[in-house]
Amino acid sequence: MDTTLQDPLVGQLLDGRYRVDARIAVGGMATVYRAVDTRLDRELALKVMHPALATDATFVERFIREAKSVARLSHPNVVGVFDQGAEGAYVYLAMEYVAGCTLRDVLRERGALQPRAALDILEPVLAALGAAHRAGFVHRDIKPENVLIGDDGRVKVADFGLVRAVGSVTNTTGSLLGTVSYLAPEQIEDGTADTRTDVYACGVVLYEMLTGAKPRSGGTPAQVLYQHLNEDVPPPSATVPGLAVELDELVATATARNPEVRPHDAVALLALTRTARAALDEEQLDLVPPTALAGPDSADQTTGKRKGKAARTGAVARRSGSEERTDVLPRPPRILPPEVGRVEHTARLATPQGPPPDGPPRRSFRPGLPRRGVVTILVAVLAAFAIGAGVWYINSGQFTRVPAVIGKTEADARKRIEGAGLDVKGVRRDFSETVERGTVIGSDPGTNERIRGNGSVTLVVSRGPEVVRVPAVAGDPLATAEDKLRKAGLAPGVVTGEFSAEVPRGSVIRTDPAAGTGRSPDSAVALFVSKGAPIEVPDVTGQSVDEATAELEGAGFKVAIAPEQVNAPQEAGTVARQSAAEGARLAAGDTITLTVSKGPRMVVVPDVGGRSEAEAKKALEAAGFEVKVEKSFPFLGDKVGGQSPSANERAPEGSSVTITIKGL
């Protein structure tokens, strides 16, 4: 039955722009549609979150994070995100439409790949991750399901939605077991993930491409995790004889259990990959592994199940953690050489396919099997069970699950974590377009993940949107304006006073940047505050202190008296100086400081008799006096004949001394 006909979005125009033509696939978190951007007349994939989840801030946050993360990466090997938006209950991503399949589809149909094909896929994957690593992103969920291969042979990396979230390993579904297969040891031990965890996952993917099987096998995630922590990835040549030693070394280097030994990022691993390729000859590159010869209908190497031709067409729903991924229309491109025959691999014939045509049903073990063999099998089964139980204890019995704290305040989250017997290691703050500033948007390890009973949890608290708009605070009192800025996620900056006859004193005139301008959170915003209308300062020097104070306060100023008096020409007890000169423009309420005179200083008058006019003036002015000159008739002389006050008398500093120039 074609369920597309029942989908309410098919045939609709979403957000006034995207015409939904057909449903590609349905996942646990979203549905993917083939759509057309009517504005640009471009075919694309529309990933629409299930309406029931659109009210969950965590899921919406992940959607927006995926859009932003990929939008910052401009690389031909990354599935591009064109747009993000919402209409009513529908939150969506508009993404690049990739017609083709996933690497998982290729491995299921073809089995192991030739080294040349494996390297042809690995190199663009590393190029895409290298761009992400150098941009500061870690994918954290590299696996064949997230490697897309277009019908034209192009390779692209998808699902950057987990770039800032550690993958969940808290259940035992088969899809989870597939995810666990690519986790680096440090992700398992302490939840840390950096560029080297992506390198580890790429090494596991390379092993799987070369051998057709995952390097780790186990019935439960706990068994796989135990192998990750305690066993090295085996060389692929142990499964596919004839593979070059350079490929063994490449896998070993990328999957080293100690992250310090691995290449530090995908760019470094890409360089090693190209070096390894250059060392291989044509025969080594074109080696046909046994699983490739067996053909597309042979058993899958990891599950033992038969795969029919149905895997070649139709939509594939892929899981990542708790979410199904549905990004492509899978149809394996012709990237591998045609099959050269059907040779059944001996490992696939080990289990009988049914009873003989004309005989009784077989027993539960093969006839003629020695009793010792039965005992050996039973011992092996019991040992495996014991190991599984022991691994469960190691990986479950000593662990505590992280409580859910998303959506809570930082204080409430701390209480809940400490109530579970865990410690809060620290707080990391991150941007969120949908979650209010100060609210918890995640934790590391994540909700329900297991950590040791005395372990620590890092809280991730929202900083609010990455771009904050400056609020309108003009006309608000300064304290109110500063509070609005802090609540918006900005910091009050320098406060500068300006005269304004329109805005009341103490209220904000404007901000810099202006209201509505986008700024990063915690950026400073300068405030310009009204000082009221300007007032000109009068001259009060020479007045008594009481008179000067009354005049200045009447004009709207405050008055302060300097603690020390000074010698000045003004009469003792009067104002000698004022801090703001006559005519200066100040605001009402500004303070003017007055300095009181203690009278002039008395200075001895120098004797300048008989000196020339110029010499006399120089000596008197140096002593602090002003000089007046009088000349007797006839005006032909140049010598001082008299002075007043007389020589050696004491006179107020700054007062005048009169000198008389003698005539002939």
Dmax (CA) for the chain in angstroms is: 164
Pairing of strands 456-462, 450-452: unpaired
Three-state SS at 192: coil
Catalytic residue among 105, 141, 265, 444: 141
CB 408 within 8 A of CB 440: yes
Give yes or no: 56 in active site: no
CB 115 within 8 A of CB 247: yes
Q: Which two tokens stand for residue 189?
A: 């031990």
Q: Taking the CB of residue 566, how many other CB atoms lie within 10 A of it? A: 14
Q: How far apart are CA 525 and CA 511, in angstroms?
A: 7
The conformational region for residue 492 under phi > 0 = left, psi -120 to 50 = alpha, else beta, is beta
CB 572 within 8 A of CB 522: no
Distances (CA, A) of 227 to 181, 252, 623: 10, 15, 99
Alpha helices in 515-560 (DSSP H): 545-554
Q: Following CA atoms 511, 514, 515, 518 in sequence, which dihedral angle do they give, to the nearest 10 degrees?
A: -120
Q: DSSP character for 558?
A: E
Q: How far apart are CA 316 and CA 460, in angstroms?
A: 33
Q: Is cis: bond before 290, omega within 30 of 0?
A: no
CB 649 within 8 A of CB 604: yes
SS (H, E, C) 300-363: CCCCCCECCHHHHCCCCCEEECCEEECCEECCCCCCCCCCCCCCCCHHHHCCCCCCCCCCCCCC
Residues catalogued as catalytic: 141
